Structure 1
């Protein structure tokens, strides 16, 4: 089985990349399953129902994960309650709208469990992701387990990779918007990368116009963040599995 996973999609430039390349990549790679982190898809913060619907219905995306910006768009909680394929972090408080994991079947009949987690280091308050994922895996069974670890600290993401080694087919990191060079298959058969890297404009600071970011570091005033526009890059990983374990993980880069 082949799994295509994209890092954080940032704003309209990121959405253009998704539209331009995801259907093409699915055909080229023979991907059976597509997971995209969409928490920055709307103006760089949050996601809207129309964006998610287009990805599901027209582009063939199977699951959308999120993170600390999951609910930035007003009213999106209703859609999270209605659509099980869009996930918020599973270690959010239990009363939070939506779901933190979902089980789906591929056309070949394989059952895939996708779990969305969020780290606690330098992140908004949330429950322990390690204990949370252990509880989920004690309750849920599937042919393959895919985990989006939405974390700021590389140490926390790496620890989660080893924590789930042999229990998940893939643990892929999101959130920092900066791709890491450590894509590998861990000894127990788990494909791992600390951060996939964002899909969006690289002519800026983590997808935002550089002037606003520089202003926040150099001035007392806090300029408003705006999505950057140039150097559009799609960053993804393709994971190949046999049985319940991964056999390879490779980086994919496309540009507009």
Structure 2
């Protein structure tokens, strides 16, 4: 009888524990879903327009955009928010049409504003040029800048349906990590050079293609940064990612190539190589 009572007590404890874990898991999923769905496309558009209006008012009606790839400031005039998209778990993306001031016919640009829900607010993670103007006849046409921002790659996919992560998921994890670190660093990523022991303030340029994976090991991607105040000094920084519970996170940041002056010009000198590990390209 005593053994039976103990067995029943243990079974009840086990079932209660399983039920509690299920409730906690459901609560986490509902909370994540609520955070993901709390904003409508109209609310994202309104937030993007508010930000553009604020920055334009600070510059006599011009939205000054610092293009990190070309390292130039472009004076833009707002036209419209063309569309707002969302990717579950990754945030919202507002495609915004502008034209450059002082050109006739208008010289168009399309910029993407990436927002993520944080504590019931929309946080602007980054702004990237999606399409740039190309001269055609007497006018301009828009063409996609390559590589396109990672959020245009998963057209109809849903995260987590493949055995291995895809390139855009790796880029998304790196980009989110960078956006947070750059915000914390006052607009720059602060990296300590393990060789010189000096801290370097770096401005983010772009994530390279391709993304790679070492067999049976981590994912990684190379990125370009320029040293703040030294636009010709380009660093190649590698971000290595691990996976836990299906989620990618940055667990190593390594300087791959450093700028060194040679005959009056800056060149990149490799610190280490990963080719011996026979990396695989991530599609």
In the superposition, the TM-score normalised over structure 2's length comes to: 0.25
Q: Which has the higher contact order (CA 8 A, sep 6+)?
A: 1
Greater radius of gyration (CA): 2
In the superposition, the TM-score normalised over structure 1's length comes to: 0.27
